[in-house]
A = this chain, B = another copy of it.
C-alpha cells in the first residue's frame, strides 16, 4: 500500500513535461522546413503569425483543454469545457497582440452521444460569442478504439488579427513592473495532478464538497478559464502594455520566460497574492515542493502583463473595468532570461 503522504510527482501523475520539452526542441527544424513567405513570429510564441497580402497580420493557435475533459465527463457537465477552450485560445493570441476573428473545433469520442456533443459544442459557441469570434466550422469524429469508453477530447483552433502592435522583445527591459491577473481556478492545466490527488488519493467524487470550501469538487475544477480580452482591451488601446504571458502548462516559470530577452530576469514576488484554497489543498495533499507546484499549476495567476514604463495604474484600471483585481506581482531585473520565484 502506498504511503498517503507520498509525493505525487507530476511525471507520476502521468505527464512528463521533460519529454514534452525535448520534443518541442526536436520539432523546431521540422517546423522551420515548412516556412513560406507569409510566416512570421518566433517558434515557441503563444501564437503563430502569418501575414496575408502584405498587410493583414494573422495570429493563429491550436490547443486543447487537457484532462479537464475527464472531469467534465465524470461530473456529467459537458457545456463548459468548450468555453474553456475558446478562452484559452483567445488569451494565447491576445498575448501576441491579436483579437479573435474565427474559431474551429475538433470533437472526438469513442461513441457519439449527440446530447453530449451538442452540449460541448454549445459551450464552444458561447465562448465564441463572448469573445466576438465566429465559429466557422468544426469536425465531429467517432473513433471507437482510440478513445476510452465514455470519454472524449476537444481541440480548438483560433485565428485572430494582430491589431495591437506590441513592442519587440528587446523593449522588455529591467525596471518594468509585472502585473498579475487572477485566474478563476486551474483554468486548463494541472488536471492530471488534480485528479490524481482528489479522486485517487483522497477518494473524492465530483459531487463531494471540495475540502475547505462549500462548493463541490466539480464546481471548483470546472470553473471556466477566464478570457482576458475585454480586461486588457483598454490597456492595449492605450499602449500601456509591453508584453503579456498567458500562464498555462509550465506555470509562471515556463510561460513568463517566453517574453524575456536573454539578459533579463523576471522576479515574481509570490507573497504578493494568496493562492486560492484549491491550490493550497493540491499543494498540501500532493506533497509537491512549491517550485514543482508552481510549474504544474497557475497558482491563481492566469496572465501576467509587463506594464509599459510608468503605466502600471493604467493596466490595473483596465482590469478593474471588467471587475478583475489585477495587482503588482514583481519586476524585471538584469539577468539571464529566466523567472525567479521570490519567497518560496
Contacts and interface: CB of A to CB of B under 8 A. Distances in A.
A121 B136 CA distance: 25
A128 B34 contact: yes
A324 interface: no
Interface stretch (A48-56, A166-174, A282-290, A296-304): A48-56
A134 B64 contact: no
Given A30-B118, A118-B27, A140-B20, A104 B56 contact: no
Given A33-B125, A157-B157, A61 B104 contact: yes
A38 B33 CA distance: 32
DSSP class of A's interface residues: helix, strand, loop or mixed?
mixed
Contact of A63 (B19, B35, B47, B139): B139
A157 B104 contact: yes
A117 interface: yes
Contacts of A342: none
A136 B48 contact: yes
Contacts of A159: 50, 58, 60, 159
A170 B145 CA distance: 42
Interface in A141-173: 141-148, 151-153, 155, 157, 159, 161
Contacts of A55: 53
A44 to B, nearest CB: 10
Contacts of A15: 112, 142, 144
Chain A's interface size range is 35 or more
A146 B137 contact: no
Contacts of A38: 101-102, 134
21 contacts: A15-B142, A16-B112, A30-B135, A34-B103, A38-B102, A38-B134, A39-B134, A48-B102, A48-B104, A48-B136, A52-B56, A52-B161, A53-B56, A60-B159, A64-B139, A64-B141, A70-B143, A106-B157, A145-B195, A146-B147, A153-B153
Chain A to chain B: the 6 pairs with minimum beta-carbon distance, closest first: A48-B136, A14-B144, A157-B157, A48-B137, A62-B104, A106-B155
Interface of A: 14-16, 19-20, 22-24, 26-27, 30-31, 33-36, 38-39, 47-50, 52-53, 55-56, 58, 60-64, 66-67, 69-70, 101-106, 108, 111-112, 114, 117-118, 121-122, 125, 128-129, 132-148, 151-153, 155, 157, 159, 161, 192, 195
